[in-house]
Amino acid sequence: MPRVLVMIPSGEVYNHDSVRWYRYQDVQRSINHYHNIGDAFVFDSTLKLLNFTKLRTLTISEFREEDVDRLREEFDYVVLRGSNYIHSEMDWECAEAVLKRLGLPVLAFGIGAQAPVDGRIELSESTKNVLRLISDSTESVGVRGAYTAQVLSDLGIRNARIIGCPTAFRKNDPELKISLPKVDEVRKIGLTIRREVSPAYARDIRQYLTFHRNLIKSFAGRFETTLFAQGEIEEKKLVLGTPDQKEEAISSLKDNSWVSQWYMDEDVERLYRTRLFYSDVVADYDAAVSACDLVLGYRLHGNLMALANGIPSIYFTYDSRTREFADTFKIPSFDVFSDKVFRLSDFWDQSSFDGFNGAYRQVFAAMQNFLNENNIDHKMGKSSEISQFKKAATV
């Protein structure tokens, strides 16, 4: 059974393969700190796919030769948790020196690139060097979709495999399918919200936020709706904070010009006070989305968590990351910058999800193949769909 180092984890591990935020019970310790709990979804899901006996963090914030040499003797390979690492602002700290000295295989587990609104992606030499080190250390590099594979190909990295994201496969169910209930049977809706957004990646902030606001109000008026937040400070305070912190959060939101103009009206404020969900424990999200009849919205991993539990989900795409996820898994999606009007009835047809059902099986097989060809001990069984998707997923 392998001994595994984790590079850039997101949370503490308990019960062998479950993840929650560090010292999660001490709420006030991190109440003013933004951390995207979706990253913990990926970490938790990754561990649930792997067999291992020992797990430890690989520190890249500093480089000590003697520590790295000891780790080389004690561990078998490194997992780089899947995330949005390939962009112009990524800081790899001392990773290049650490990985060179360590010399162990580094399994990139569904990493992704972020395209800017305008122009080509610009990467630092550090990012390029780390990606090449990872590529040279293993048979293949696991990426979330075709755009990321192309970015790596442009760097001369030709061994990318499109494997989506471990979150989709956290239940280890190769036969998972989405079967739509009748629309009049839908009662409970989960809406994954993302109020914070960067103009570098979303081209029209006003349209993004006003669409977001109207979507929240529309669904809350028709269904029993839960708003799933994933770590923004104000949203977190409204769920976990003291009464004073809750009021501070509302004041902070209203002081934000974008939010006050285009997002937070009286209805949204009321829903924020009464319908928000947030937790620092991944298992809590797993249970919460499983109780919904439909989950839709902006969050990559929140939506994917629902699909992994067999719950229908619809993506609202607004940047290259959300589009890449929807394209990889053929998930029904709606572009928030389109001129169209979103109508749930337009998506409420089984054929809308049959594309996902087929893509899921293919990407599940691609993930199996990826782990097998890198000699990783895992829980996903042997692949039964190797040929065509493996060819298509190799750049």
CA atoms of 75 and 348, how far apart (whole Å)? 48
Q: Flag whether 141 is in a domain.
A: yes
Q: For the CA atoms of the chain, what is the radius of gyration?
A: 21
Residues 46 and 161 in one domain: yes
Q: Flag whether 81 is in a domain.
A: yes
**Amino acid 119: pLDDT:** 74
Residues 49 and 104 in one domain: yes
Residues 213 and 270 in one domain: yes
Cβ-based neighbour number of residue 358 at 10 Å: 13
Q: Flag whether 150 is in a domain.
A: yes
Residues 152 and 234 in one domain: no
**Amino acid 392: pLDDT:** 41
Residues 144 and 194 in one domain: no
Q: What percent of the chain has pLDDT over 70?
A: 96
Q: Flag whether 276 is in a domain.
A: yes
Residues 144 and 78 in one domain: yes
Q: Flag whether 178 is in a domain.
A: no
pTM here is 0.94
CA atoms of 364 and 385, how far apart (whole Å)? 9
What is the sign, positive or negative, of the torsion defined by CA atoms of 315, 330, 304, 47? negative
Task: Give 136's contacts (C-beta < 8 A, 6+ positions apart).
Answer: none
Q: Residue 212 in contact with residue 265, Cβ under 8 Å? A: no
Q: Flag whether 65 is in a domain.
A: yes
Q: Residue 133 in contact with residue 114, Cβ under 8 Å? A: no
Q: Flag whether 177 is in a domain.
A: no
**Amino acid 383: pLDDT:** 57
Q: What is the pLDDT along the chain (395 residues), one digit of tens a residue?
A: 899 999 999 999 999 999 999 999 999 999 999 999 999 999 999 999 999 999 999 999 999 999 999 999 999 999 999 999 999 999 999 999 999 999 999 999 999 998 887 778 999 999 999 999 999 999 999 999 999 999 999 999 999 999 999 999 999 999 999 999 999 999 999 999 999 988 877 889 999 999 999 999 999 999 999 999 999 999 999 999 999 999 999 999 999 999 999 999 999 999 999 999 999 999 999 999 999 999 999 999 999 999 999 999 999 999 888 999 999 999 999 999 998 999 999 999 999 999 999 999 999 999 999 999 999 999 998 654 443 444 444 44
CA atoms of 375 and 62, how far apart (whole Å)? 29
Task: Give 49's contacts (C-beta < 8 A, 6+ positions apart).
Answer: 166, 169, 170, 172, 367, 371, 378, 379, 380
Q: Encode burial over 13-23: b for 16+ CB neighbours within 10 A, e otherwise.
A: beeebbbbbee
**Amino acid 389: pLDDT:** 41
Residues 110 and 163 in one domain: yes
End-to-end C-alpha distance for the chain, whole angstroms:
31
Residues 56 and 33 in one domain: yes
Residues 132 and 280 in one domain: no
Residue type, 31: I
CA atoms of 57 and 41, how far apart (whole Å)? 17
Residues 227 and 156 in one domain: no
**How far is CA 63 from its chain centroid?**
29
Residues 200 and 98 in one domain: no
Supply the range of the domain harboring residue 344: 183-354
Q: Flag whether 330 is in a domain.
A: yes
Domain count for the chain: 2
Q: What is the CATH number of the domain that holds 310?
A: 3.40.50
Residues 339 and 387 in one domain: no
